[in-house]
Structure 1
Amino acid sequence: MKKGIFLFVISMLMIGILAACGTNNDSKKSAKEKGKEEKKVLKMGTASDYPPFEFVDTAKSNEIIGFDIDLVKMIGDKLGYEIKVQDYDFSGLIPALQAGKLDLVLSGMTPTAERKESVDFSDVYYEAKHMIVSQKDSKIETLDDLNGKTLGVQLASIQEEKANELAESLELKVENRDRIPELVQEILAGRFDAAIIEDKIANGYLKENKDLVGFTIEEDSEEAGYAIAFPKDSELTEEFNKALKELMENGELEKLEKKWLQGE
């Protein structure tokens, strides 16, 4: 009888110990899961009509991919943020930042003086040039050939500013559209004589469509650069600049350029 009681007590003690261990493991697991849940989510805006920086390969999925997307994910991993990408028309990105709908914008955006009045920018992470794109038989080979022509630009882009600048010395009509593919379609349909598009983006369309040609605008000023946009006085600006600098120094940014811009 005593032996039976002894075994019963031992059994109860073992059950208690195992239950305590299970509770401890569950607590650790819950803490780990809780940590994941508490990982800060940042809302990033982009305009997914700008390959190879941001675009959708519809043959594969509906996911937005590209240079800028890989870049922001690398920075997010480095800083411990989860990045949620949201698609906008380019012209709506800065207003969305100002309205508090977005935490940052990565969309091939140039930090112009006018934009700096509304938002803050990171250091420049990429430089680019302007290209005039037209139909092959258009005979538009120089800026002077744009006289009397209709020139298309993306709404609220740096190219729109450049077109308006050209219109001060050339007789041309400037028209805008929300997205780059719309500009290309307008050229092919004959409604636009030409369009100004960033050279890396334009080269992609020239490669796909042999009816299009283009030439780069040679300028004395510095090339247009791309930077990350943030709301005014955002604490993220300094954090992202530090991460960008590290990616430049360790060669990761160069790898992205080879992958998306050079096809390596």
Structure 2
Amino acid sequence: MKMQQALFSGALAAAIVLSGGAATAQDALNSKLPARIRDAGKLVVGTSPTYPPLEYKDTATLELKGLDIDLVEEIGRRLGLKIEWKEQSFDQLINSLDTSRIDMGASGMTDIPARREKTDFVDYFSTGTQLFTMPDVGAGLNKVEDACGKPIAVNRNGIFLIRLRDFNEKVCVAKGLPAVEYVLVDKTADARLQLLQKRAAAAAQGVDAIRYLNEQKESADRGKFKLIGDPIAVDYAGFGFSKANTELRNVVADAVDAMIADGTYSKIFAKWEMPYAEVKATMINVEPRRK
């Protein structure tokens, strides 16, 4: 009996020490927050939940799910803040940051110079633009050069069209191959639809999303697609912040770096089958942090 009491007392003491350490870490991060956010006790985060595995809605429960959702909820826990999600279209996110309607954007936002004119980024995973097709549509499309001269479906609003145009100039035109035919759509999901309906020979979107759709067990599109070579460009995705909100930007970066250090970050990436996208440390605007 005495031995059991001793064991229980030891376990209780260890739990108190561990919880005290967690509280201390949370307090340290919380103290770095802008007073407005700390006093409100919440972080307003904008997202466009149409891009699995990063953010999407469960069709049965309408609950937000995805890599970004899990990461941000963990960031909120570490900062001692409740996360208030605001759903909006992807093209509204930067304006919402600029007008303070949201504190942070979390929607697989690729960190590129044009977006940096108004927005700062905490880069937290690597991504890239991937060309892909379907076996019965893109016969003979085995390497990226094979896509030159073909109709390629791509979202007109974002990084994939920028990278596809770069590819066309630097690979197709530079090598004397036929130019890409652009099949422009308003949403990335529509690019896949053009492919499914055989209106395009290939499509371009993020490597993380197409691998998710093609490989994850619960995906309705599992095995439908064929990746064409390696990504045509490699980029970094980041959480977005107003340029006037550097305090919040920096403390979120601190929280993510702590998650990387203690293994929580890797566990979340493993859950969403994206270990290939992990980074060793956050960056600010594609530059190593100055601590």
- Partner letter of residue 70 of structure 2? D
Unmatched runs of 5 consecutive residues or more in structure 2: 1-38, 173-178, 216-220, 276-291
Deviation at 1:67, TM superposition (A): 0.8
Whether the aligned pair in 1 keeps the contact of 2:144 and 2:228 (CA below 8 Å) is no
Deviation at 1:86, TM superposition (A): 2.1
| Partner Cα separation in structure 2 for residue 88 and residue 177 of structure 1 | 19
Deviation at 1:39, TM superposition (A): 4.2
Deviation at 1:147, TM superposition (A): 2.4
| Partner Cα separation in structure 2 for residue 58 and residue 118 of structure 1 | 34
Give the corresponding residue for 1:48.
Answer: 49
Deviation at 1:68, TM superposition (A): 0.4
CA RMSD of aligned residues (A): 2.1
Unmatched runs of 5 consecutive residues or more in structure 1: 1-37
TM-score scaled by length of structure 2: 0.70
Give the corresponding residue for 2:188.
Answer: 180
Within 5 A, what are the aligned runs for 1:133-148? 133-137=132-136, 138-139=138-139, 140-148=141-149
Give the corresponding residue for 2:199.
Answer: 191
Give the corresponding residue for 2:72.
Answer: 72
SS class of match (2:109) = coil
Task: Name which one, 1 or 2, has greater alpha-carbon Rg.
Answer: 1
| Partner Cα separation in structure 2 for residue 179 and residue 84 of structure 1 | 25
Whether the aligned pair in 2 keeps the contact of 1:54 and 1:67 (CA below 8 Å) is yes
Deviation at 1:262, TM superposition (A): 5.2
Give the corresponding residue for 1:257.
Answer: 269
Deviation at 1:258, TM superposition (A): 0.9
Larger mean CA deviation between 150-159 and 98-107 belongs to 150-159
Return structure 1 stretches of 4+ with deviation > 4 angstroms.
none
Matched, 1:215 2:228: yes
TM-score scaled by length of structure 1: 0.77
SS class of match (2:226) = strand
Give the corresponding residue for 2:20.
Answer: none
Among 224, 240, 245, the alignment partner of 2:235 is 224
Give the corresponding residue for 1:237.
Answer: 249
Q: Percent identity?
A: 26
Larger mean CA deviation between 173-182 and 249-258 belongs to 173-182
| Partner Cα separation in structure 2 for residue 90 and residue 194 of structure 1 | 23
Aligned pairs, number: 222
- Partner letter of residue 190 of structure 1? K
Alpha-carbon distance change, 231 to 175 in structure 1, aligned in 2, over 3 angstroms: farther
Whether the aligned pair in 2 keeps the contact of 1:109 and 1:228 (CA below 8 Å) is yes
Whether the aligned pair in 1 keeps the contact of 2:207 and 2:231 (CA below 8 Å) is no
